[in-house]
Amino acid sequence: MGSQSPSPSLSFDDDVDTPALQQDERQLVSKIWAIYDSISKLPSLEPSKEVNELFSQLVLSCIPPSAIDVARLGGDAQEMRWRLIRLCGVAEGLLESHYSALLGSFPTPLDHVALFPYYNNYVQLGLLEYTILSQHAPRAPDRVAFVGSGPLPLTSIVLARDHLRSTCFHNYDLDPEANAQAQRLVAPDPDLSGRMFFHTADIMEVTHALRDYDVVFLAALVGMGAEEKARVLEHLAKYMAPGAVLMVRSAHGARAFLYPVVDPCSLRCFEVMAVHHPAGEVINSVVIARKIQSCDYQPAGHGHRILPCKCASMPIFNPLRYGNMMEEMALEEQAS
C-alpha cells in the first residue's frame, strides 16, 4: 500500500460523546483523538520520521495503566477507535515488510533480527506466551498454527528458536508476498527451515486442516472489527480439535486503542483457562483457552442451543508476578 487517504473527520464533544468517562479518561481520549487526526492526514504510512514519531506518541500514550473501558466510549469515539486500529494495522504491516526486506538482504537474516526496533517486545511476549502455555499444557505441542504471521513472523521465530525447539510451526497469511518474505528469512537456517512452513490462505477457508494442530495462535490484528473477530473465533471453534489450545491476543485499558479487545466469555466452545494483562512494554493481553471435548457447535443466531463458555472462575494473571515468571523461565531455559 503506497498511500493512505485521510479519513473523514469526526467530531469530539466532551459533553456529549463520552459522558460515562471520568475526567482523566476524557483527557486521554482527547489526546489520542488528536494523534489520530494527525495520523489520518498522513499521505503515506510507510516508515518515515513523521510516521514513526506519531505512532511512538500513540503507543506511549496508551501504555501507562488506565482504568478506561473502551466499551463506554460514545459513538464517534468508538468509530475513531476502530479507524485508528485499522491505521495501526496498515502501519504495522508496512513496518514489518520494510524490515523483513532489510533482513532478507543479509546472507543469514536471523543473525540480524535485533535490527527490528520492537524485537525485544517480541522476545518478552514470546516468553510470556510460552510460560502461560507451559502452565496449562505441560506437554510441548508437536504442531502449532500461527494465524496472521505476516512478512516478519517473529512470534514463530522466537518460540521455535528459544522455547519449542522440536515443534513444527505452520504460519498462515493472506498475502503471498508476505509469506515469500517470511520464507526468505528462515530459508538459510537449517533448523528453522525444516520446522517452519508458510501457507497463503484465508483462515476462514481452512477447515479440517485445523484439527491437525495442538495449539493455534491468533494474531491481534486478524479480524480487526468486532464482527470479523467473532467470525474468525467461531470458525476456529468449529474446526479445531477437541482439547486443542487457542492462544488469543487481546488488549486492555488504553491499549484497546491499538488492538481489538476479545471478551473471554465470547469464546464459545472453549474453556478459558487464564487471562493475562501485561503492565510493562508488552502491549497485548493474552487469553488461553482449550477447545471443549464435547460441544455441539452452531453458528450464532442459529437454533436455540446455548454453547458453553467456562470463564466465570478463570484466573487473571497478576502483572506483578510477570517479572518473576520470566526470570524463572529464563533460568529453566539456561539450565536446559
pLDDT in tens, 51-110: 999 999 999 999 998 889 999 898 999 999 999 999 999 999 999 999 999 999 999 999
Report whether pLDDT(332) > 80.
Answer: no
Q: Which comes out higher in pLDDT, residue 146 or 317? A: 146
Confidence class of residue 310 from pLDDT cuts 50, 70 and 90? low
Q: Measured in whole angstroms, how far is the alpha carbon of residue 326 from the centre of its chain?
A: 20
Which three cell numbers mark 114?
535485533
SS3 (DSSP) at 16: coil
Confidence class of residue 325 from pLDDT cuts 50, 70 and 90? very low
Specify the pLDDT at position 199. Answer: 98
CATH code matching the domain that covers 23-295, chosen among 3.40.50.2000, 1.20.1440.230, 3.40.50.150, 3.40.50.300: 3.40.50.150
DSSP state letters, 212-263:
G-SEEEE-TTSS-SHHHHHHHHHHHHHHSPTT-EEEEEE--GGGGGTS----
Report whether pLDDT(219) > 70.
Answer: yes
Confidence class of residue 24 from pLDDT cuts 50, 70 and 90? confident
Q: Measured in whole angstroms, how far is the alpha carbon of residue 148 from the centre of its chain?
A: 9
Report whether pLDDT(3) > 80.
Answer: no
C-alpha distances in Å from residue 245, one per residue of 23, 147, 180, 210 = 40, 13, 28, 11
Q: Which of 31-35, 69-73, 226-230, 319-323 has the highest mean pLDDT?
A: 31-35
Confidence class of residue 22 from pLDDT cuts 50, 70 and 90? confident
- Cα-flanking dihedrals φ and ψ of residue 20, to 5°? -80, -10
Report whether pLDDT(140) > 80.
Answer: yes
Specify the pLDDT at position 19. Answer: 64
Amino acid code (one letter) for 262: V
Q: What is the mean pLDDT of the chain?
A: 85
Q: Within the chain, where are the H helices?
A: 23-40, 49-62, 75-104, 119-136, 154-158, 176-186, 226-239, 319-335
In whole angstroms, give the CA distance from residue 229 to residue 274: 19
Which three cell numbers mark 155?
512470534
CA torsion sign, 8 to 14 to 19 to 20? positive
Domain range annotation of the chain: 23-295
Q: How far apart are the first and last CA of the chain?
A: 44
> How do residues 277-309 score in pLDDT, each as one tens digit?
988 888 999 999 999 987 765 555 443 333 445
For residues 293 and 240, the answer to whether their CB atoms sit within 8 Å is no
Confidence class of residue 322 from pLDDT cuts 50, 70 and 90? very low
Specify the pLDDT at position 306. Answer: 35
For residues 58 and 258, the answer to whether their CB atoms sit within 8 Å is yes
For residues 147 and 222, the answer to whether their CB atoms sit within 8 Å is yes
Which three cell numbers mark 46?
510507510
